[in-house]
């Protein structure tokens, strides 16, 4: 079956927040955000524990790019449009 061309990454912004595909430059901020959230969210995110390392964040953003190229999943970094500060993430799959 023809799956068509790969989906190209998109950046979306309303001037308040910007959604864009994750890049390796996002990995340090993702790591910091995950580490500060361990206590609050680890009951729901089994992968997020005291052993979570910067390399884990880097692998995740690299895998995010692979998913975009395959057209199987579309993960976005959610950033403040004015400051570019990481606010969170969102994704589309299935």
Sign of CA dihedral 38, 44, 46, 47: negative
The Cα-based distances of 8 to 33, 35, 83 in angstroms read: 27, 30, 25
31 token code pair: 């790591």
Q: Answer yes or no: is pLDDT of 9 > 90.
A: no
Confidence of residue 94 (pLDDT cuts 50, 70, 90): confident
- In this predicted structure, the answer to whether residue 3 has a pLDDT above a threshold of 90 is no
pLDDT digits (tens, 9 = 90+) for 15-59: 999 999 999 999 999 999 999 999 999 899 888 999 999 999 999
The whole-angstrom separation of Cα 18 and Cα 11 is: 7
* Residue range 52-83, pLDDT digits in tens: 999 999 999 999 999 988 889 999 999 999 99
Better pLDDT: 68 or 8 = 68
């Amino acid at each position: 079956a023809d799956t068509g061309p790969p989906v190209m990454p998109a950046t979306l912004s309303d001037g308040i927040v910007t959604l864009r595909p994750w890049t390796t430059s996002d990995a340090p901020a993702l790591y910091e955000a995950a580490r500060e959230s361990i206590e609050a969210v680890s009951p729901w995110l089994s992968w997020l524990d005291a052993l979570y390392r910067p390399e884990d964040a880097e692998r995740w953003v690299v895998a995010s790019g692979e998913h975009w190229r395959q057209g199987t999943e579309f993960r976005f970094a959610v950033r403040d449009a004015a400051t570019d500060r990481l606010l969170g993430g969102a994704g589309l799959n299935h």
